[in-house]
Structure 1
Amino acid sequence: MVGKEVKMEGFMIKSYLHRFGDFVKDMEGYLQEGKIKPKSKINIGIESFLESLNSLFSSSNIGKVIVQVKT
């Protein structure tokens, strides 16, 4: 990877799988306290499908993209 100048970030999940219970407990607390909030973009109507699909492949998408077709 160094010879090709490739950048790789992250961690190996198997190395920390034994701590998954701690993660769940901490995240549950953060969600209840309102420290973490999910981000989503809701588009109303089937006519917004193409706009929603295109946002998945551009930088305009943050979080989940939802197309609401029935109220």
Structure 2
Amino acid sequence: MSITCEVEHKPYGKTGKSVGIDTGIKELAVLSDGSIYENIRSLKTKLKKLRFGQRQLSKKTKGSRSRGR
């Protein structure tokens, strides 16, 4: 697995501490210091809307005005 992102950030001073990251399905990331980052699940909601839209479109007659919208 590879995670890549480009973010401009302000550098902080070194603390000398290190942290481990565990990525998963239920939570996006769990750090070794106990911090938990929740999974947003935006893909799941977008796919649900896509399925609904495709079902509505399949019920419309090909070439009709309402299908073209």
Which band: TM-score by shorter chain?
under 0.3
Which structure's residues are more often helix, by fraction? 1
Greater RCO, 1 or 2 (C-alpha within 8 Å, sep 6+):
1
Larger radius of gyration, structure 1 or 2?
2
